[in-house]
A and B are shown apart, each in its own frame.
Chain A
Amino acid sequence: MWLLPFLIVISAVALSIPLSRYLAWIMDGAFRAPRALQWFERRLDSGPQDWKQYTIALLVFNAALFVYGFLVLALQPVMPLNPLGRGMLAPTTIFHSVISFMTNTDVQHYAGDQHLSIFSQLFFAIPNLFLSAAVGLCALTAIIRSLRGEETIGNFFVDMWRVLIYTFLPIVLVAGIFFLQQGMPMTYQTAVEVAPLETGAMDATDKGEPRIQQIAVGPLAAFVPIKMLGTNGGGFYGMNSAHPLENPSAWTNVLTTLLMMLFPMALVLMYGRMLGRLRHAVVIYCVMFTVLVALIGWSIYWDTLRPNSGLTSRAAAEFEIPSAQAPGGRYVLAIPAVAGLPVDQKLGNLEGKELRFGTSAGATFAAITTTFTCGAVNCELDSLNPLAALSPFVGMWLNCIYGGKGVGMINLLVFLIIGIFVTGQMVGRSPEYLARKVGAREMKLAMLALLVHPIMILGPSGLFAATPWGMEAVSNPGAHGLSQIVFQFSSSSANNGAAFNGLNVTYGFNANPSPAPSARQWDIAGGLVMLFARYIPIVAPMALAAGLGRKKRSPVTMGTLRDDTPTFGFLLLGTILIIGALLFLPVAALGPLAEHLGPIPFGG
């Protein structure tokens, strides 16, 4: 049970160290590429950029991605590689999906295998998986150069090229070949037909003949490696990594988990290497590692080592459900089967789990995918025990425990600046980071970057929870329903992409006669949340780093707060936990905690 998470975490740590060295080498421009590749690099190099030019290039590039993605999806019905004749998605779903993939979030209000053609998977989804992932890494590199005091911080397009060609592509190729060997499909076919083992299992045709089963396939071995390496998480199938063709074996499960951890972990060390402050980065790495291990341990303890509370601890035949419509404010729900079910629960909560990966694989993956803002899932997050579900929530709320590629470290930098500022105020010294004074401007920008995230989660969650938009979408009443709403906006704001499921938000094709009642509102609100929660926390820290880097270095004295000691690590950890608790403990109390402590199972 503990062997799987232990092996995954230790392997990720071991691989992140050499990878960080390689990344620093590439991003510092020390790598001499072959001539043909240098030629492309020179064509892309529009000259050195200051922070503002770099940031504008980044945003304009993303705006171009929006236009491109919108066109590809809007033209899906008339494009080739569409043998099953997939129609046009609803305009709001196109809006949501394009922003979702462009911002590296990959929340899906559709099922890839049912709603996208092979053309859309190849020319919309896969390019976005590469490009959106590279953007965060470039932003972090630019921030590091600013903090080094460089006036010009490289060129955005050259950095994108380096990330894509010299880092992503080789790893994706190797992983793709391994996945092929493990049984992952790689084909332009849309579906294969198979005869079920049990004749008639798929029902009968109009002529009374046994129906043949159609299994959707496609270029999965090209899709899945970058889906995981780029911490994208959007699934080829609606079931994501729980699907036997998207995650065929225990080995692919281990490798996909490792892939999503690699870059975020290595980038923390790259930060230290490029700044020449490796010890400082190691302290940050250890703080993140401590929280990561705690989150994995928490979710395994409350899910794999505990029975499904709906079946045991609340085992009763009748439940009183609060309801405004019922006389007396409550109605009695009889579930006689629950109390008497002969379920052996010694292996923990097995509801919604893929047992072919092992009993703890679901809980481990759930904690990691949300901490690293990947969002792929190999189990049903909605079926986690309430307290176990707190782990994915916390990962997304803090959004700085390794986090997504580059952006996780950028978010950590915001916490770090705030921690240093508060400490400076407490001891009566001017706060300093990297020997430069942290002033009012830096704090204003840090607060802007910090507060966007909770505002984008709590504001829309409150709005949807208080209106029919949310109440029509949730599949459970009470605390669990609130968790479903909050999870959706947490996942969108953290650019994570994981889904709690059970939330009815799909419009699907525009011709769909019975879409989810509030699908339009969910699509538009989710799209805007992803957009602002992606770019504001990138732009503000870039401005912060540029301003800080321009300041004169202060001499290091006995009173200088050292940033490479365990004390600093505790300071950083305390800052993250206190700010995180202040922002999100109330909503945690109303959601997962209330569900755990409440008298009714299934989130009643």
Chain B
Amino acid sequence: MSLMVWLPALFLLGLVGMALCLAFVSACDKI
């Protein structure tokens, strides 16, 4: 696997996942 591609991509994927969970907090507040 190319480290230059996969490492930053998966690092970002993890952060995006956490950001979605944070967005879910706001969504729950609006229900």
Contacts and interface: CB of A to CB of B under 8 A. Distances in A.
A535 B7 contact: no
Given A52-B29, A92-B6, A70 B14 contact: yes
Contacts of A95: 10-11, 13-14
Given A56-B22, A92-B10, A539-B28, A532 B17 contact: yes
A71 to B, nearest CB: 9
Given A91-B7, A510-B1, A539 B14 contact: no
> SS class of chain A's interface: helix, strand, loop or mixed?
helix
B28 A445 contact: yes
A111 B14 CA distance: 22
A42 B19 CA distance: 29
Contact of B21 (A70, A90, A92, A535): A535
B4 to A, nearest CB: 10
Interface in A491-540: 507, 510, 520, 524, 527-528, 531-532, 535-536, 539-540
Interface in A51-73: 52, 55-56, 59-60, 62-63, 66-67, 70
Contacts of B25: 52, 55-56, 59, 539, 543
A368 interface: no
Nearest to B7: A91
Interface in A455-510: 507, 510
Interface in A26-84: 52, 55-56, 59-60, 62-63, 66-67, 70, 74
Contacts of A444: 31
Interface in A307-361: none
A88 interface: yes
Interface of B: 1, 3, 6-7, 9-11, 13-15, 17-18, 20-22, 24-25, 28-29, 31
User: Can you list the 6 inter-chain pairs with the closest CB atoms, starting with the nearest?
Assistant: A543-B28, A91-B6, A95-B10, A535-B21, A63-B18, A531-B17
Interface of A: 52, 55-56, 59-60, 62-63, 66-67, 70, 74, 88, 90-92, 94-95, 98-99, 441, 444-445, 448, 507, 510, 520, 524, 527-528, 531-532, 535-536, 539-540, 542-543
7 contacts: A59-B18, A59-B25, A66-B14, A66-B15, A91-B6, A99-B17, A543-B28
